[in-house]
Structure formats: C-alpha cells, structure tokens
Structure 1
Amino acid sequence: MTIKVPTLMITSEGHPQYVYHYKEEAEFRVRWQHSVEKESWEEMFVLQDGLIELTGTRFKTFGAGVPSNAGDHTFIKDGWVYMTGITHTIGKSLVLRTGEHTEHQLTYEEDTVHQLNRSQAYEITIASHSILNSIKHYISAKLR
C-alpha cells in the first residue's frame, strides 16, 4: 500500500524548485514588474478543494487591457488598485513565464518569498506523490 502525500510543487524545466505540503486554504502570490507600465502587479491565489483559484489582483496603474473592475470589490489602498473577490478556478496547474526585466517573485503563506529566475518557465502544480517521492522532490529542490 502506497501512502500519497498532497503537494504544491513549483518546477522549472522539469526540476523541482520549491515543494510544499498541500494545505487547504493556503495562499500564495505571484508578483512582477509590468513590462509596459513599469509598475508592480500582483495576483493572489488560494488552494481550494485540490485546485488553484485566483482570488484577487492588485496593481499601481490602469493601462491597456486592464478591466475597470473584476470580482466583488474594487478599491484603492496605499496607492494600489485592488480587485478582490475574484473566484476564477485555474485548475491543478498554473504555468508562468518570467521575463528578462519582470523581477518575478512568488510568496507562499505570507512569509516565504522566492525570487524567480529571469526568462524562465515555471509550473505550479498540485499533485499527490508517494512519501518517498515527496521526500525526493523536497531534497532535490533544497539542493538547487
């Protein structure tokens, strides 16, 4: 009998970069510098029912392609435009690509911030692995 452990894994080029034990209602954020506006943007996600869900976004300025509102609440606080109450299910996987000058960061549970490498593709995935594979992925990520 194999015991499976649910994980949130961030990989790049097929290699684990960061591995976390899946925690229901855990939050993470992806932040970057917009290539045109040259201002910070941030999207907020929550782990819900084994899926990744977009719950909000915040940014400094409106520009081309930015909706005038999204979700349940749009407000300004500390110079940021917030759009919260978004309930957009992404699924079990979120793919993102960093740019040369986008300065992408991933924050997990408000206290762990990872600077992502420039010009690289990342996949954030929810999956279940055997305990042995979970430990292997965790160690592999720590050794990078």
Structure 2
Amino acid sequence: MIRDQQILMKSTRFKTFGAGVPSSAGKDTFIKDGWVYMVDINREIGNELAIRTGRSTHHQIQSQNKKVKLIPQTSYSVKVDTLQLAKAIFLMMK
C-alpha cells in the first residue's frame, strides 16, 4: 500500500523464522496452514523496497487485489513514483 508517497507494510507471511525475522510484529502473529502470519503491521518502510528472492521460495508481492509472482534468485527494487495523469490512464488501458 502507498500512503503519502511511502510504502506501507500491512502484513507479511513466511514459512519459517530465521535471521533478521522479528518474533512478532503488528497487532497479531499466528501460524496457519504451516505459514507464520504477522498482520496489522502498518509500518512505513520508505519510498523504495529492495527484495532478493531465494532459490526455492515462491515470493510474491500483493497490493490490493493484484499479486505479482517474483522470479527465484532475482533482485528487485520497488519504488514509489509519480506519473502524469495521461500516462497513468494509458498504462491502465494497456
């Protein structure tokens, strides 16, 4: 989610705890169907997010109702940017 030109992390899920993973974040942390969920985090993480996917993980980013599957062993940079209205309309119609 984007708020005030900042990326806002609302929730996350992952298979196992590891280095760098907090024991809890947000209002609730629970395990369901083998996944660890952390929900209602609502943390601003800046206007850029760097992601490096693992070899056998199935990373994806979800924003609103759109999911984007990420390619294994690939680096990504997600940035907040502004578009001119005409260009935004063109991209939505594409």
TM-score tier by shorter-chain length is 0.5 to 0.7
- CA 1:123 to 1:88, structure 2 compared with 1: closer, same or farther past 3 Å? same
**What's the secondary structure of 1:76's corresponding residue?**
strand
Deviation of 1:69 after TM superposition, in Å, equals 1.7
Alpha-carbon RMSD across the aligned residues, in angstroms, is 2.8
Which gives a bigger RCO, structure 1 or 2 (Cα 8 Å, sep 6+)?
1
- 1:92 and 2:61 aligned: no
Relative to its length, the structure with more strand (as a share) is 1
Tell me how far apart the structure 2 counterparts of residues 99 and 79 of structure 1 sit (CA, whole Å). 19
Q: Aligned in 2, Cα 1:85/1:114: closer, same or farther, shift over 3 Å?
A: closer
Alpha-carbon separation, structure 1, partners of 2:56 and 2:30: 28
- Indicate yes or no: 2:69 matched with 1:115: yes
TM-superposed deviation, 1:107: 2.8
Paired position in structure 1 for 2:23: 68
TM-score, normalisation: structure 2: 0.66
Q: Larger radius of gyration, structure 1 or 2?
A: 1
Q: Shift of residue 52 of structure 1?
A: 0.6
Give, in whole Å, the separation in 2 of the partners of 1:102 and 1:69: 21
Q: 2:4 aligns with which of 42, 49, 61?
A: 49
Among candidates 69, 74, 78, match of residue 124 of structure 1: 78
Q: Percent identity?
A: 43
Matched residue type, 1:53: L
Q: Give how far 1:91 is off.
A: 1.4
Q: Matches of 2:72 and 2:15 in 1, distance apart? A: 22
